[in-house]
């Protein structure tokens, strides 16, 4: 019997995390089923995911009534609801966490997106979330804004595992790795066991193609159209080269020798937006060891059903990837402009979702009072 594509990915060293969470998924056994049947070994959440979860179904009604009776305001209610979900999901993944020495079995929860440009506020909330969830296999998501870099260092320094989100450019990826290493150095000096601190660097893929392809379509020449849907994969492959180079450095080697873990690249935004493209594009073309691929369930099921895993699709592709990015620049598609815009939009989209979440919970609290 041939193994499934998701099993083949896992054997290659790709950790499959589900980019979704809801209380219904937790209580129905659906999440446990994906662990058993689809090789899922972790979960990522964000404000959009929680806004969607709270807007549907009745699984939160009892807790909403309790919070309303206790006089909780909307901010406290959202904090309680989301951290409860993450703690419950963390318990479901406890065996995976133990079996992988803490590498997987991770459940991520994000700091409020309104803190994306507030280093001190992010650091404080990261500690608060970590303490409230109170599970060793939680991960605190911190955006890779310039202000976020300081927060990454200080949170890692405190011995807290971090999922760095909203990375779009290679330069920012280098800065994120640097912030992680600086945090490990501070943690080591403070006497923390480095082996217990884990981090992933969430590098966004499909959003790059969406923005670049829009610009290529405006240019409209045959040369421009020939480059459509190539930027996202090329950019991510070069992010893997950045990872390889950074963790081969003397600085990283000293930390690894002291028990530290590498900060694995995590491929995020892996749902394919263009229906003309293969729906497993950002899985099969980025398959390589020491990575995480966080997938919406639709992408996960497509991969299980018909993904073709041909082995390492990344190492050895760097020159070709550089050619793609150089060709885009030559056509007038500015890499720096695209990635700066995507970071700005990424933060803004999460703030919109966060406000939707607050509105949903606020209305539910009012109805329950």
- pLDDT, tens digit only, all 369 positions of the chain: 469 999 999 999 999 999 999 999 999 999 999 999 999 999 999 999 999 999 988 999 999 999 999 999 999 999 999 999 999 999 999 999 999 999 999 999 999 999 999 999 999 999 999 999 999 999 999 999 999 999 999 999 999 999 999 999 999 999 999 999 999 999 999 999 999 999 999 999 999 999 999 999 999 999 999 999 999 999 999 999 999 999 999 999 999 999 999 999 999 999 999 899 999 999 999 999 999 999 999 999 999 999 999 999 999 999 999 999 999 999 999 999 999 999 999 999 999 999 999 999 999 999 998
In terms of Cβ atoms closer than 10 Å to its own Cβ (0-12, 13-18, 19+), residue 277 is middle
**Percent composition of the chain: helix, strand, coil (DSSP 3-state, to 5):** 60, 10, 30
Q: Which of 132, 141, 298, 344 is catalytic?
A: 141
Residue 224 lies in a domain: yes
Q: Is 369 inside a domain boundary?
A: no
Nearest Cα to Cα of residue 185 among 153, 146, 149, 145: 153
- Count of domains for the chain: 1
What would the two tokens of residue 344 be? Answer: 């700005």
**Any idea what DSSP says for residue 16?**
E
Identify whether the C-beta of residue 43 lies closer than 8 Å to the C-beta of residue 35: no
Domain-located, residue 367: no
> 45 near 107, Cβ under 8 Å?
yes
Separation CA 367–CA 360 (nearest Å): 11
Is 344 annotated as catalytic? Answer: no
pLDDT at residue 1, rounded to an integer: 42
Backbone region of residue 348 per phi and psi (left: phi > 0; alpha: psi in -120 to 50; beta: other values): alpha
What's the pLDDT score for residue 2?
Answer: 65
CA-nearest of 213, 268, 200 to 236 is: 268
Are 183 and 264 within 8 A, CB to CB? Answer: no
Amino acid 369: pLDDT: 87
| Contact in structure between 239 and 170 (CB atoms under 8 Å) | yes
pTM: 0.98
Is 90 in a helix, a strand, or coil?
A: helix
- Cβ contacts of 91 within 8 Å, gap of 6 or more: 135
Do you know the residue count of the chain? 369
The answer as to whether 173 is a domain residue is: yes
CATH at residue 122 = 3.20.20.70
Instruction: Tell me the C-alpha to C-alpha distance, in Å, between residue 258 and each of 129, 137, 190, 255, 262.
Output: 27, 21, 13, 5, 12
Spatial contact of 140 and 155, defined as CB atoms under 8 Å apart: yes
Q: Which domain holds residue 183?
A: 5-362
- The verdict on residue 231 lying in a domain is yes
CA distance linking residue 296 with residue 121, whole number of Å: 29
Residue 122 domain flag: yes
| Structural domain contains residue 368 | no
Within a domain: residue 106? yes
């Amino acid at each position: 019997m041939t193994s499934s594509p998701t099993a083949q990915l896992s054997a290659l060293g790709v950790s499959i995390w589900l980019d979704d969470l809801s209380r219904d998924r937790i209580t129905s056994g659906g999440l446990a089923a994906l662990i058993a049947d689809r090789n899922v070994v972790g979960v990522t959440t964000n404000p959009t995911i929680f806004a969607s979860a709270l807007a549907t179904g009745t699984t939160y009604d009892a807790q909403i009534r309790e919070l309303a009776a206790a006089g909780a305001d909307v901010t406290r209610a959202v904090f309680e609801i989301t951290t409860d979900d993450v703690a419950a999901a963390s318990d479901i993944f406890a065996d995976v966490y133990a079996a992988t020495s803490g590498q997987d079995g991770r459940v991520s929860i994000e700091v409020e997106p309104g803190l994306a440009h507030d280093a001190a506020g992010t650091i404080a909330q990261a500690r608060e979330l970590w303490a409230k969830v109170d599970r060793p296999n939680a991960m605190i998501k911190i955006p890779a804004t310039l202000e976020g870099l300081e927060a990454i260092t200080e949170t890692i320094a405190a011995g807290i595992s971090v999922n760095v989100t909203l990375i779009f450019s290679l330069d920012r990826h280098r800065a994120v790795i640097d912030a992680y290493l600086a945090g490990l150095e501070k943690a080591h000096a403070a006497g923390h066991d480095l082996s217990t601190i884990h981090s992933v660097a969430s590098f966004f893929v499909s959003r790059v193609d969406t923005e670049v392809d829009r610009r290529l379509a405006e240019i409209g020449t045959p040369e421009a159209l020939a480059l459509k849907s190539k930027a996202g994969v090329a950019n991510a492959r070069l992010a893997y080269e950045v990872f390889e180079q950074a963790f081969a450095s003397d600085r990283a080697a000293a930390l690894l020798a002291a028990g530290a873990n590498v900060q694995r690249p995590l491929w995020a935004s892996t749902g394919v937006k263009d229906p003309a493209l293969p729906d497993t594009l950002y899985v099969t073309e980025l398959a390589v060891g020491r990575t995480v691929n966080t997938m919406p369930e639709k992408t996960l099921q497509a991969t299980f059903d018909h993904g073709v895993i041909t082995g390492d699709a990344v190492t050895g592709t760097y020159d070709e990837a550089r050619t793609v990015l150089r060709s885009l620049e030559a056509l007038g598609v500015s890499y720096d402009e695209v990635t700066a815009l995507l970071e700005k939009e990424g933060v803004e989209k999460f703030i919109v979702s966060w406000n939707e979440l607050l509105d949903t919970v606020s209305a539910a609290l009012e109805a329950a009072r």
